[in-house]
Every structure is written in structure tokens, then in C-alpha cells.
Amino acid sequence: MSDEVKQEDKAGQGRGPLLDPEIFLAVVIVFGIALAWIGLAFRIPSALIGALTLGTIALVTGDLVWSLDFLRAAGEAKDEGTKKALNLERDRFNRVHRPLSLLAGSLAFVIFTGWTVFASFAAVPDKALWAWIAFAANILTGVLLWWIGPKLSTGLKSSGSESTGTLTPWLRFSAIIIWIAAPASIGSVYSIESSPVGYLIWLYRIAGILALAFQAELFIRASWSLISPKAKVIEETPLPTLIGSISMGWQYGIRIEKGENRIPSLFSDNRLRWLTVFFRQSLPRVVLGLLAIMWLATSFVQVGVSEQGVRERFGGFTGEILEPGMHVGWPWPIDRVRRFPSRRLHIMQIGFQAQEYATRTNLIWTEAHGIEEDRFVTANGNEVISFDIELYYRISDIVKFAYTSNNPEALLKDIAYKAILLRTNATDSDSLLSRDRSELASGLKEDIQRACDSEEIGIDVSQVAIIAIHPPFEVAAYYQAVVSMQVYADTLAIQASTYREEIIPTRQAEAQISIDEASAYAARRVAIARGEAQGFTLVADAARPAFDVYSFRRRISALETGLEGKRLFIVSSRFIESERGDDRGLWFDLR
């Protein structure tokens, strides 16, 4: 410890401004960032929201506490020099440190959080691409912040700003945060199973845990110093010295070394405490211990409820099959257990590939369903037909499954396709569409199982489910048109029958009317005849005694009735008699 520092050490045994603003802000902001790291590292979105809220509250609290503490210190100040120093510090804080601290911390937080959240949660078509873009952006942003720090410091100094010593460290501290967080973009997108790049997530997680541990210590110290009347002198803490803060005086019991842009070695100073001391002294043992534990942990293996395992010793199969539960063996690389989901019912799609199993599409002949659909040639090569089949199977013999073929499921798929080929190449589509589906399915199941047994791949086919047999969707409408025409033909017959139902009764009614009319005519005719005959008889009987008189009377009456209004030419009989010998005759002009 330098003399200058020691003198300041003694002088500063009382309490000056309790909180250096940028240090406290750094603590709370990075604490918030650390929580955000943890949340994102373990994919806990609510932790991110909590970290954002905590950071904001801490920012406001820190500012409030500083203000209260300043007022307290200003009230206790006895001499003008101290008061002036306090005022200067207040001015410095308001003009320079507060906005720059907020800017740097917020910038780091926003860029880190924004890019990482965007890469992890945004619904983008290619998350991996965006993750790599976020990674590159984080790296470039860190480089920019690291480079721009000294430039800004120089610029501010030349413009007369009193102190900009903390700006560069702040910006570089932000750059370090961003660089450590950059792999988070990648690690949050790739899973370890899909790519070794997924292991980057552990870098992120470890950095987050360490940052959280360090910041938790600082936060506890800061909080404790608020209530402790005389905080113990602690010379250094890792983060502020890492960023080379030049803040003076006592900050919640922590003494900060003078220095501008200085980054001392974390492990060379004996005045470190707590976590740093622990890590410095015990790190190798801790690391070795952890490695040993991890290595011994490989002796234990848990076989899941739907799994079985085969134990290999130095690569060779020991003959031991492991049932579900916890098992112990030799650690890696002596023993290794390969697990297979032997009790799980697997489903394999044959003839089509649906987009996602969980979101089935409607199987309509005239609509393309799924990503791909295979066609099978039939009817002497003149027709094609589609088969949509789901194959349900289990692993029946785990040893055969593991060691007979390198990809038994691929072989199963080929066997299934072959079985369908043999069922389709000897017939036509009409026969396939009309045959008994259950018989076809059971036949396929037998064929596939027989082939699996022959290949000894250790698979048991539980069921073959025929989802659909249909013509290609390009011609399906024409198949449906045949059915439509069948229905249309039935409709025509029904319409014709309806016509018959309408016409026949009508005609029968008309026929009956005609007969009834004739009967009525007959009755009337006969009645009239009888009436007239009776009348004639009566008149004849009455007229017979004086027939001459009756006949004369009737004759005259007839003349009266008939000649009324007629033109009459009455010629004397004597004139006719006199002209009888003349050949000219008697002519009348009737015009």
C-alpha cells in the first residue's frame, strides 16, 4: 500500500459521502445484468423481467440514497473546504458521472439484453442465422465500446470536463460484459444435442454465476454499509479495480486505489477478501475436485422408464441389459451405457411426410397434404396411386437393434416401402381403392415383420395403419366426378319416377272423367228417349180419334211458326195450270 494511500486511509476513517455514485450504480446495474444472465442462461423469461425491474429500482434507489447521504454529509460538514468538496462532487455527479454511468450501463444492458432476447425468442425463420448475427453484433459492439472509451475521455477532457476517468473503464467494462454475453446468442439457440456449439451456453452460465456471486458480495457490502456506523476497511474489490475506477474516499467501507485506466491483476494482491481470496487459494483444488466428481459421476447412469440400456466395457458389449432405474458401473472411458427407447411406441410415416405430427392436416384427396407424398406405379405403369401409412413399432430386441444395423429404422422404412411396392405393382388402382383395408393392412404388417425378422434388426411391428389410399391429388377430382355421376344417374331415375307418379294418376283421373261423362250422356239420352216416346204415345192416343182435325191444326201451327218473317211467293194454282204447256217454265228473281 502506498504512503499516499495510507495517509488517505487514516484521514478517511470517518465517513465522507457514503456512496460513490458510479460504483453503486455499477453494482446495481451489473447485479441486474447478472440476474438477467442467469435467467436467460437457464431460459427463465420471468427472471429477465425481474432483473430489468430490479435494475431500474436499484438505479432509482441508488440515486435517492446518494442524494440523502449527500444531504446528511453536507449537513455534518464543519468546514468550508469539505462543503466545497461535497458541492464539487455533487456537481460532478450531476453533470458527468450520472449521465455517463447511466448511459454506459444502460447501453450495455440494452444491447446485451435486446440482442440476446431477439435471437432467443423472436419468431424468425432461421433462428440460428439470427443468433450468429447477434453474436457478431455483440462482438463488434464490444470492440466499438472498447475503442471509443479513450477517444471520448480525451474529447471530454479537452472540452473542460473535470473528471472523465471513469468513462473509459465503464465503457470497457460494458465491452467485457457484451463479449462474455455474445456466446449467449449462440448457446441460447443451439441445443447441446444438435450441435457442439450448444456448449457455449455453459460459458454464459458460468460467467453469469460468477458475476452474480461477485456482485452479490458487493451488493451485500453496500447494503451493510448503510447501517454499519463504521464499516471495516476493505482495500479492494475485484470489479472496480478491474475497470480501474479512480473514485476517492470511502465507499461503503471499501477503499479504492487511485489510478486511471488501471487494471490490476486479480490474483497478485494479497488484500483481496472473500470470494477472490477463496478462488485465489483454492481454485486448483476446487477445479480438480470438480473434475473428479464429474468423472466419478459418469459411473452412474439412469435408464428411463421407457428405455433399456446396453453396457459396453472398453467398447465391447458385456451382455448386460439394463432395465429402468439407476445403475452403477465403471466410470468413463471404461464403461459406457447406450440407452434406447425400447418400450416406447414409435410411429413412422410411410408414403408421406406430414409437416408436424402434432398438427395433422386434413386428408382430402383433392388437396395436397403434408410436405411430400410418394406415388406408386400400378396398372401396368398406366396409373399411379398414393399410400399414406403409419407404421407403429417397438424395439423388441435391444441387442439386435443396437448391433445388427447401424440404422435399423432406415432399413425398416425401406422394408415397408418394398412391401407396398409388392402390393401395388400387380394390380390397378380400382382394385386397391375398393379392396378390404383391414386385410391389406394386416397383410402389410405380416410382410414387414417377416422381413424385419429376416434382417434381425430387433424391431416388432405393432400395427400398420392405412391412413389413406387415394389417387394423386392432380386427378382425384376426376375420381370424385365418377361418384358424382353415379349419384346424378340415380337422381335422373328418381326424377323420372316422380314424373310417372305425377302422370299416371292424372291420366287415370281423366279416363274416369271420360267414362263418367259417357255414362251421364247415356243416362240422359235414354231418359230423353223414353220421355219422348211416352209423349208420342200419349199424343197419338189423344189425336187418333180426330186425326184430321189434329193434323190440320198442327200443319197450320207449323206454317205460322215456320213462315213468320220469311219471304213468300204465293202463286195461283190457276196460273201454274195455264203455264204448264209452255216450255219456258216459271222463273222467280230472288235477288
Partner 1 sequence: MQKRIRVTIGLGVVILLLISACMYQLREGSVAVITRLGRPHRTELNAGLHLRYPWPIENVYRFDNRKRVLETSFTETLTRERKNVILLNYAVWDINDPLKFLQALHGAADLQIAEMLLDGIITDAKNAVMGNYDLSALVSTNEEDLNLAAIEQDIHTLVAQAAEEQLGVNVYEVAILRLALPQDNIARVFEQMRSERGQYAQRFRSEGERIASDIRSATDLEAEEILAEAEETAAGIRSQADAQAASVYAAAHSQDPQFYRFLRSLEALEAILGENATLVLDTESAPFDLLEEE
Sole binder of partner 1 in the list 60, 122, 296, 540 (CB under 8 A):
540
Q: Which of 376, 386, 391, 445 binds partner 1 (CB under 8 A)?
A: 376
Instruction: Tell me phi and psi for residue 352, to 5 degrees.
Output: -160, 165
Q: How many CB atoms neighbour CB 428 within 10 A?
A: 14
Which CA distances in Å does 215 have to 59, 201, 208?
Answer: 15, 21, 10
- Of 160 and 585, which has the nearer Cβ to partner 1? 585
Near partner 1 in 178-237, by CB under 8 A: none
Choices 80-88, 149-157, 435-443, 510-518 (CB under 8 A): range interacting with partner 1: 510-518
Q: Which residue in the set 91, 126, 162, 474 belongs to the binding site for partner 1 (CB under 8 A)? A: 474
CB contact set of 12 (below 8 Å; sequence gap of 6+): 249, 250, 255
Could you tell me the CA-to-CA distances from 491 to 480, 497, 500 in Å, in that order? 16, 10, 14
- Nearer Cβ to partner 1, position 87 or 425? 425
Short-list 59, 60, 185, 67, CA closest to 131: 185
Binding mask 79-118 for partner 1 (x = CB under 8 A): ----------------------------------------
Nearest-approach distance from CB 581 to partner 1, in angstroms: 17
CB atoms within 10 A of CB 449: 19
Can you tell me which of 14, 81, 229, 381 binds partner 1, judged by CB under 8 A?
Answer: 381
- The enclosing H or E element of 152 equals helix 127-158
H/E element holding 466?
Answer: strand 459-470
Kindly state whether residue 421 participates in binding partner 1, applying the rule CB under 8 A: yes
- Residue 263 or 334: which CB sits closer to partner 1? 334
Q: Indicate the Cα dihedral angle 198, 203, 208, 214, nearest 10°.
A: 170
CB of 427 within 8 A of CB of 492? no
Q: Which of residues 449-468 bind partner 1 (CB under 8 A)?
A: 455
Closer to partner 1 by CB, 255 or 400: give it: 400
Find the shortest distance in angstroms from Cβ 290 to partner 1.
16
| Beta carbon nearer to partner 1, 53 or 431 | 431
- Tally Cβ neighbours within 10 Å of residue 52: 18
What is the total residue count of the chain?
A: 591
Q: Which of 144, 499, 578, 579 binds partner 1 (CB under 8 A)?
A: 499
- Which lies closer to partner 1 via its Cβ, residue 129 or residue 290? 290
Cβ distance to partner 1 smaller for residue 157 or 327: 327
542 binds partner 1 (CB under 8 A): no
Nearer Cβ to partner 1 (263/571): 571
The cell for 452 is 424385419
Counting contacts by CB under 8 A, is residue 410 touching partner 1? yes
The nearest distance, CB 571 to partner 1, in angstroms, is 5
- Asked if residue 515 binds partner 1 (CB under 8 A), the reply is yes
Site for partner 1 in 547-566 (CB under 8 A): 547, 551-552, 554-556, 558-559, 561-563, 565-566
Q: How many residues bind partner 1 (CB under 8 A)?
A: 114
Give min distance, CB of 578 to partner 1, in A. 13
* The only residue of 287, 368, 377, 546 in contact with partner 1, by rule CB under 8 A: 377
H-type helices in 408-436, by residue range?
Answer: 408-424, 429-434
The nearest distance, CB 485 to partner 1, in angstroms, is 4
Q: Which amino acid is at 62?
A: G
Closest CA to 556 of 545, 566, 544, 548: 548
Which residues from 310-339 bind partner 1, rule CB under 8 A?
Answer: 312-317, 333
- On the question of a cis peptide bond just before residue 333, with omega within 30 degrees of 0, the verdict is yes
Check binding of 405 to partner 1 (CB under 8 A): yes
Shortest spacing between CB 375 and partner 1, in angstroms:
7
In angstroms, give the least distance from the CB of 542 to partner 1: 11
- Do residues 142 and 179 make contact, with C-beta atoms less than 8 angstroms apart? yes
- With beta carbons less than 8 A apart as the criterion, state whether 46 and 4 touch: no
Residue at grid coordinates 323420372? 496
Q: Which is nearer to partner 1, 435 or 555 (CB)?
A: 555
Strands (E), 298-382: 300-303, 308-313, 316-322, 325-328, 335-340, 346-350, 352-353, 372-373, 375-378
Are the C-beta atoms of residues 101 and 22 closer than 8 Å to each other? yes
Which position among 177, 402, 440, 452 is part of the footprint of partner 1 (CB under 8 A)? 402
Chain positions 284 to 313 lying near partner 1, rule: CB under 8 A, are 312-313
Q: For residue 357, state whether it binds partner 1 (rule: CB under 8 A).
A: no
Nearer to partner 1, 42 or 478 (CB): 478
Question: Cβ–Cβ contacts within 10 Å for residue 234, how many?
Answer: 19
Dihedral sign (CA 391, 396, 399, 400): negative
Q: Which listed residue (427, 443, 460, 462) binds partner 1 by CB under 8 A?
A: 427
Report the distance separating Cα 130 and Cα 45, nearest Å: 19
